[in-house]
Amino acid sequence: MRTLWRAIVRVLFWSYERGTRQYDLAVAGIVLFVLFSPNYIRYSDQPSMGPPSAQAMVQLRTTESGQISTYRIDARLLAPPTRTPELEHDLHDAVQKNVPDLNHGHFEILRIEPIRGEGDTIAYYDVSVKP
């Protein structure tokens, strides 16, 4: 029993010299564990797939004088805009759906500022609203 305990302690503290049979068995055990553990252990650390949630794409940037709030809306939330009235309507819907304080729908968009990203494409819109 004492020799078994001593062998376990030596494997745990990695005290075998390189090239010995015990060292080779410990390395083989580690390699087998790394290769075959995903088949038997269900790891749940998968990365999230797809675009972020819609609420994560709308962020409150500033609140001026308690009345006018500015939100940054990711351009991926909208279809490619063609005309200003349609863009304003789409932005109104995006803010209404994703901001719990404004989901009643009675607010006015005062200003829309496109924020350009790489390649001179629109990455975000800064939308100032007044309830």
pLDDT one-digit tens code per residue, 7-38:
888 877 888 888 888 888 889 989 999 999 88
Average pLDDT, the chain: 80
From residue 57, alpha-carbon distances to 35, 74, 90, 95, 98 in Å are 38, 5, 14, 10, 9
Angstrom distance (rounded) from CA 19 to CA 40 = 30
The mean per-residue pLDDT over the stretch 92-96 comes to: 82
pLDDT band for position 80 (50/70/90)?
A: low
Question: What residue ranges define each of the domains in the chain, with the CATH number in brackets?
Answer: 2-40 (no CATH), 55-130 (3.30.70)
